[in-house]
Chains A and B, each alone.
Chain A
Amino acid sequence: MRVGIVTFPGSNCDYDAYHAVVDQLGERAFYVWHKERDLQGADVVVLPGGFSYGDYLRCGAIARFSPVMDAVAAHARAGAPVLAICNGFQIACEAGLLPGALLRNASLRYVCEQRHLRIETTDSPFTSRYAAGQVVRIPIAHGEGRYVADDDTLDRLEGEGLVAFRYVGAEGGSDERSNPNGSLRDIAGILNGGRNVLGMMPHPERAVEPLVGSGDGLALFESLLARVGA
């Protein structure tokens, strides 16, 4: 598997995605500078976390205009996997690859901590190695992660099984503390209609070894490997 990780000016989780793929999965990864127009034969594209262009304007609003984004959109149109994490999720929404938007956390504060997510669908190249309903521990680290969309869009996402992850408590249920940012319907990650673009605020690339807090994100990368092949 060849994973192309796009580096925008201000990306800072590109390195973590690289090491998740190379160190933990033993697969190939490389960085794609945002000014490139070619994805160098990547099977999977990662739009990593960080603060592209400082996020001084709306998060992701400038990065979507980076030259590389045309190639990313073409990659997605061709049905190949795009994994958009955190700032990458914001960029994917701004670029129209995914519906909805990410607003400031309801608390108005940045939050970084381990969180519990429930796997809502295993029918995707990103989640096939999980069990439906499985509760996993994956950290979040964001100030603008409150997922919103209009009711029709939310109903469509739910109806088509495009909600990939929901924030839950440790036991899998939901209470007033289990949603860290006020996301509508506790949504932590969604798929596009083709199920080949995943946007998620939590950081699976930070959860690939128990030594640093959790290994629960590794199955996401293993799912991709199972789909793409070594």
Chain B
Amino acid sequence: MSELPTATRPASVVLPRPGDPPITAALVAEHGLTEAEYDRLVAMLGREPTFTELGVVSALWNEHCSYKHSRPVLRTLPVDAPWVLQGPGENAGVIAVGDGLAVAFKIESHNHPSAVEPYQGAATGVGGILRDVFTMGARPIALLDSLRFGDLDSPRVRYLFAGVVKGIGDYGNCVGIPTVAGEVVFDPAYEGNPLVNAMCVGLLREEELMRAVAQGVGNPILAVGARTGRDGIHGASFASEELSEASEAKRPRVQVGDPFTEKLLLEASLELIHSGHIVAIQDMGAAGLTSSSAEMAARGDVGVVIDTARVPVREAGMTPYEILLSESQERMLVVAKQGHEDAVRAILEKWDLSAAVVGEVIAEPVYRIVEGDRLVAEFPGSRLVTDCPVYHPEAREGEEVQRLRAVDPHATAERPEEGDPAWTVLTLLSSPTIASKAWVYRQYDTMVRTNTVIGPGGDAAVVRLRGTDRALALKTDCNGRYCYLEPRVGGMQAVAEAARNVACTGARPMAITNNLNFGNPKKPEVFWQFREAVGGMGDACRALRTPVTGGNVSFYNENPRGAIHPTPVVGMVGLIEALDHVTRSGFRTPGDAIVLLGENTDELGGSEYLARVHGLVAGRPPRVDLDGERRLVEALLEAIRAGHVASAHDVSDGGLAVALAECVMADAERPMGCDVELDAWASLPRRALLFGEAQGRIVVSTGAPGDVIAVAARHGVPAREIGRVAHASHGFVVRVAGAEVAVPVARLAEAYHQAIPRAMERPAAASPGAAGG
């Protein structure tokens, strides 16, 4: 076509651009390439790269974009099920949910940017995951956030926590997508390296599914949305190295978000996709124009030419290197149908956005970058993407962890205060990890789009599918402490708990997206954690029939003191087949029976109790019986569908006593009481019974305990009536072997609801050393 005379011209010679720095060993190292990787690049090109080419390769071969350390392990995860329409490898996974509707969903990390610039780091994390979902042709309907911070006693942690929450809120609120669920965990292991994982869920009709595959020789490639600036250059590389004292200096690598432009881009992109004028669309996210164009070309097995001189820029004098690597936000790369350029522009103009033709799909198998008449970079075929190195690092369990796992929790003597178990209950309820997160989610618009049936604070969020009798249940889960002590068990547990949580709302678990947050994979003990945790996750996904449809790997989560707890976050999507099945976690009616599904066993290792009361991260984390978990989910769903269940709540952090307390306080406007007797388990150590975190347990309240127990028996699930729901005035009463825990509900509520607001009243500080703690 005439617009791009250089596109079809035979390749001339790639020469350094005037002003390019010479390629030296130091420059190569600065770009994060090892010597072997550089040699590989030279072999691929058959010559030395130019500065621009070095930049392109550094952007695509960094860990964040290439998955070079993780790919072989990720391949072990199950990805198939009849309802999976799109598995890993696209911008987001997609599953069918009936009636021709489909759900696109994905989770992604923005850990390192958030560690140095919490507000923008978190905000742009939300922006990126929204774009991943709406480029599939799906309208985003919900956001979730899985967050990890250090100890709230630190002023720096309060600064990061407050900034991340505000960043998430301001972005999602402005775009108008409700934030409906997530988790927040506080643990010293995340000091200096918080985790910010954002998940987005979108809805589309199956036939609207759009894939980011460049096709059609002669089709024009357009840059749409915001202009390209010098922000965020090398952001993806920054995400692929450890944080250090020097990281603060890399703050300029953090991009700045503009949710208003995002909202316009969302509407314009969906209009474009539905217009039939385009064949592919992809976010210019990590590694910007480079990765979006190279990935779309590789998926379509076509060549592309991009002219950087045609990219709309924010300032004059930007080099091809800068334009290719910029991570300016709110930009999309679109492959349009030839001759439809004006129609594309008209749609963008309606939304006050611009679109510019910047390249073309070509038959020649080459990835070519020109700047006007000058050829500045050229790579053969799709080898830029496919030839990325793959590593199989050494994996070996750390000795420290083996020692910690061997610790017998019962060897730790009780503290004197524990003579009154009420003290322990209140201590755990006021642990920021367990305490109410209302301080967080009051700052999020949880209701916009008016489909939020259950918002944050429940076992899982429930979002109605408008126009149907169905709803989605959504939840993220992961216990980093379990994963640290025994990563295989931790990986299984994350899936099992997420499945239990969605099942408690009445949903069948359907599929997951995962965000695998780990330390430096070149350390054998970290790679061991990774391999084991992913192995456990895969086992659980197979057992629970919840394939993995995509996700994100975030390595190099370390601070100067070492790696974070391995944190493979699971983002689960479940399907509720009838709105009548929607079930909440809180007790509802005084007099209802309380039934425990599952069995109490002696599992104190890795518990919140040990961490919070004894400052101990040790012991063997609770066993996960995958077959039992599957039967538990089946039994619960059958009982819910039969109308036997008034409320259902998963037993997790803090154990049975905390779960029961949550059931009485869950509805802050309508608290209940309870009267529970646990003598059937009098032989268990009392603290294991009350605060141990044995898996596979759900607290159900019901007007028909016999029916619930009969359903459970048919599925081979242990079930026992343990007490009655009472009026709030009765208080929270739990008896075991002659002892009694009796606490007024108002005291429980005070501990649970005030812990985080009270902590956040203390000053925050951006610098780690500042006073004010």
Chain A residues within CB distance 8 Å of chain B: 9-10, 12-13, 15-16, 19-20, 23, 49-51, 53-56, 109-113, 139, 141, 143, 170, 203, 205-206, 208-209, 211-213
Can you name 8 A-B pairs with beta carbons within 8 Å? A23-B466, A51-B263, A110-B173, A112-B445, A112-B446, A143-B173, A170-B669, A206-B448
Contact of A51 among B259, B447, B464 (CB under 8 A): B259
Residues of B within 8 A of A53 (CB): 260
Output the least CB separation between A13 and chain B (Å): 6
**B450 engages A10 (CB within 8 Å):** no
**A55 engages B352 (CB within 8 Å):** no
**A212 engages B260 (CB within 8 Å):** no
Contact of A212 among B169, B442, B445, B453 (CB under 8 A): B453
Output the least CB separation between B10 and chain A (Å): 45
Contact of B448 among A141, A143, A170, A213 (CB under 8 A): A141
Output the least CB separation between A36 and chain B (Å): 12
Give complex CA distance A89, B327 in Å. Answer: 36
Known: A56-B260, A112-B443. 13 other contacts (CB 8 A): A9-B263, A9-B351, A9-B352, A12-B175, A15-B449, A19-B466, A51-B173, A109-B166, A110-B443, A112-B446, A141-B173, A208-B450, A211-B453
Residues of A within 8 A of B169 (CB): 110
Give complex CA distance A175, B466 in Å. Answer: 38
Chain B: CB-nearest residue to A16: B450
Asked if B579 is an interface residue, CB under 8 A from chain A, the answer is: yes
**A211 engages B579 (CB within 8 Å):** yes
Give complex CA distance A100, B173 in Å. Answer: 25
Residues of B within 8 A of A50 (CB): 176
Residues of B within 8 A of A206 (CB): 447-448, 450
Residues of A within 8 A of B466 (CB): 19, 23
A10 and B443 in contact (CB under 8 A), knowing A141-B448, A206-B450? no
Residues of A within 8 A of B448 (CB): 12-13, 16, 49, 141, 206
The count of A-to-B residue pairs whose CB atoms sit within 8 angstroms is 86
A212 and B447 in contact (CB under 8 A), knowing A51-B173, A55-B174, A110-B173? yes
Output the least CB separation between A204 and chain B (Å): 11
**B260 engages A10 (CB within 8 Å):** yes
Residues of A within 8 A of B442 (CB): 109, 111-113
Output the least CB separation between A44 and chain B (Å): 19
Contact of B263 among A12, A109, A143 (CB under 8 A): A12
**B260 engages A54 (CB within 8 Å):** yes
Output the least CB separation between B14 and chain A (Å): 42
Output the least CB separation between B757 and chain A (Å): 11
**A109 engages B450 (CB within 8 Å):** no
**B450 engages A212 (CB within 8 Å):** yes
Asked if B264 is an interface residue, CB under 8 A from chain A, the answer is: yes
Residues of A within 8 A of B451 (CB): 212
| A-B pairs with lowest CB-CB distance, top 3 | A12-B176, A54-B260, A51-B174
**B450 engages A54 (CB within 8 Å):** no
Residues of A within 8 A of B352 (CB): 9
**B450 engages A112 (CB within 8 Å):** no
Residues of A within 8 A of B176 (CB): 12-13, 50-51
Give complex CA distance A19, B467 in Å. Answer: 11
Output the least CB separation between B353 and chain A (Å): 10
**A10 engages B263 (CB within 8 Å):** yes
Residues of B within 8 A of A49 (CB): 448
Give complex CA distance A157, B298 in Å. Answer: 65
Asked if B430 is an interface residue, CB under 8 A from chain A, the answer is: no
Complex interface residues of chain B between 462 and 513 (CB less than 8 A to chain A): 464, 466
Residues of A within 8 A of B587 (CB): none
**B260 engages A141 (CB within 8 Å):** no
A19 and B450 in contact (CB under 8 A), knowing A9-B351, A141-B445? yes
Residues of B within 8 A of A209 (CB): 450
A10 and B452 in contact (CB under 8 A), knowing A19-B466, A54-B260, A56-B260? no
Output the least CB separation between A194 and chain B (Å): 30
Residues of A within 8 A of B258 (CB): 54
Asked if B105 is an interface residue, CB under 8 A from chain A, the answer is: no
Asked if B360 is an interface residue, CB under 8 A from chain A, the answer is: no
Give the most central of A49, A109, A111: most B CB within 10 Å: A109
**B259 engages A54 (CB within 8 Å):** yes
Residues of A within 8 A of B592 (CB): none
Give complex CA distance A175, B452 in Å. Answer: 29
**A205 engages B450 (CB within 8 Å):** yes
Output the least CB separation between A9 and chain B (Å): 6
Asked if B444 is an interface residue, CB under 8 A from chain A, the answer is: yes
Asked if B539 is an interface residue, CB under 8 A from chain A, the answer is: no
Asked if B170 is an interface residue, CB under 8 A from chain A, the answer is: yes
Chain A: CB-nearest residue to B455: A213
Give complex CA distance A208, B450 in Å. Answer: 9
Residues of B within 8 A of A112 (CB): 173, 441-447
Residues of A within 8 A of B449 (CB): 15-16
**B464 engages A10 (CB within 8 Å):** no
Output the least CB separation between B224 and chain A (Å): 16
Give the most central of A23, A53, A211: most B CB within 10 Å: A211
**A51 engages B450 (CB within 8 Å):** no
A213 and B447 in contact (CB under 8 A), knowing A51-B259, A54-B259, A170-B669? yes
Output the least CB separation between A116 and chain B (Å): 10
